[in-house]
Amino acid sequence: MTAIETVVDRSVTEALETMMLIRTFEEKSAALRAANLSPNMCTSVGQEASAAGVIKNLREDDLILTNHRSAGHLLARGAEPGRIFAEIMGKSTGYCKGKSGSLHISVKELGVVLTSTIVGGELSLAPGVGLSLSMSKSDAIAVVFFGDGAATEGIFHESLNLAAVWNLPVLYVCENNQWQAYVHRKETMLADHVSEFARAYGVPSKTVDGNDVEVVLDAARNAVDYVRTMRKPYLLETYTYRVRGHMEPDDQAYVDKEELASWKRRDPISLIQSRLQRDGELTQDEIDVMWQRVQQRVEDAAQFALDSPYPGFDEMTTDVYA
């Protein structure tokens, strides 16, 4: 085995543990909501390979913009699960002092610069972040995560067009999860793939299996390299599925059961776990240890958040103006 392959293998295992952490976090978050210990929130269960596969390819100085379904991106970037839980619960120990809640969490120290919960808002902000980077001496890039719902909005097209015309180093990552809040993608788009739009703006793009983390890791590595060296935008579409409802709690009565079942059979975590086992990279014991590790971490994180205080009432009017 060459040195390079070793690095790749380690990154896949690391990505698997990140995906386990995201899954465990999101399910705990839904359970806390069900127990009325936490407010409504949006999970990314089923989409873990996209977050882990893309973000593992980024450098520390790259900047991320995300959306209302952000916990996976934050965890993949190294955010503390306890501070995310705390933010979701509106506690003062959250990354945004509890003022954001789940929907617009940003973490400056991790380069998660802007998060808008207005679907498409993150796309409107991305060229500006790219512009700041393009006018600096750095070769860092901006990465914006959005969904197929945002891709049906005008601002997606405005954003992609401006990034192309101005040669901005922005990696557009469309997590096409087939759902736009409570509406199936097939009701709002004739095309199956958002990547097709990019061609019209002169932006290279690719659609990949968003449930296979090795595929995402490879595609994202190429996409990140392109944006970093060419200083131009690229659109990577990770084709995936939102396994839970739009917002917790959600009985998913509107979801086609067969479609959901077929995607669950392609669960991104089971997929890579069994492949790594089959290839002799990981044993069942090692996998069990990884699960135990993330479960303990998530339990501790939830307790930290539950034990944390709410912000003082004075925080209602601070941080409005600089």
Partner 1 sequence: MRTITADEAITEALVEEMRRDSRVIAFGEGTATKGYKLVEEFGAARVRNTPLAEGIIAGTAAGAAATGLRPVIDLLFAPFLTFAMDEIVNSAGKLRFLSGGQFSFPLVTVARTGGGWAVGAQHNHNNESWFVSSPGLKVVMPSTPADFKGLLKSAIRDENPVVFFADIGLLFVPGEVPDGDHVVPIGKADVKREGSDITLISYAKTVQKCLEAANVLQENGVSAEVIDLRSLKPLDEATLLASVQKTGRAIVVHEAAGPCGVGAEVAAIIAEKAFGALKAPVVRLTGPDAPAAASFPLEAAYAPQADAIVAAATRSLSRA
SS3 content of the chain, % helix, strand, coil (to 5): 50, 10, 35
The DSSP line for 67-121 is -SS-HHHHHHTT--HHHHHHHHTT-TTSTTTTSSGGGG--BGGGTEEEE--STTH
Which range in 5-13, 20-28, 30-38, 114-122 contacts partner 1 by CB under 8 A? Answer: 114-122
**CA-CA-CA-CA torsion for 223, 224, 225, 231, nearest 10 degrees?**
100
Place of tokens 């990547």: 195
Q: Which of residues 131-190 bind partner 1 (CB under 8 A)?
A: 131-133, 135-136, 154-155, 158-159, 161-162, 165-166
CA pair distance 203, 201, nearest whole angstrom = 5
Secondary structure of 134-181 as H, E, C letters: HCCCCCCCEEEEEEHHHHCCHHHHHHHHHHHHCCCCEEEEEEECCEEC
**Contact characters 41-70, partner 1, x per CB under 8 A:** ----------------------x-x-----
Q: Is 94 in the site for partner 1 (CB under 8 A)?
A: yes
Q: Site for partner 1 (CB under 8 A): which residue of 25, 85, 95, 197?
A: 95
Based on the shown chain and the rule CB under 8 A, indicate whether residue 235 belongs to the binding site for partner 1.
no
Q: Which of 38, 102, 106, 205 binds partner 1 (CB under 8 A)?
A: 106
How far is the first Cα of the chain from the last one, in angstroms, to the nearest whole number?
54
- The distance of closest approach from Cβ of residue 312 to partner 1 in the complex, given in angstroms and rounded to an integer, is 13
The size of the interface with partner 1 (CB under 8 A), counted in residues, is 45
Q: Minimum Å distance from CB 198 to partner 1?
A: 16
Residues 120-139, one symbol each (x = binds partner 1 by CB under 8 A, - = not), give: xx-xxxxxxxxxxx-xx---
Residue ranges that bind partner 1, judged by CB under 8 A: 63, 65, 94-100, 104, 106-108, 113-114, 116, 118, 120-121, 123-133, 135-136, 154-155, 158-159, 161-162, 165-166, 318-322
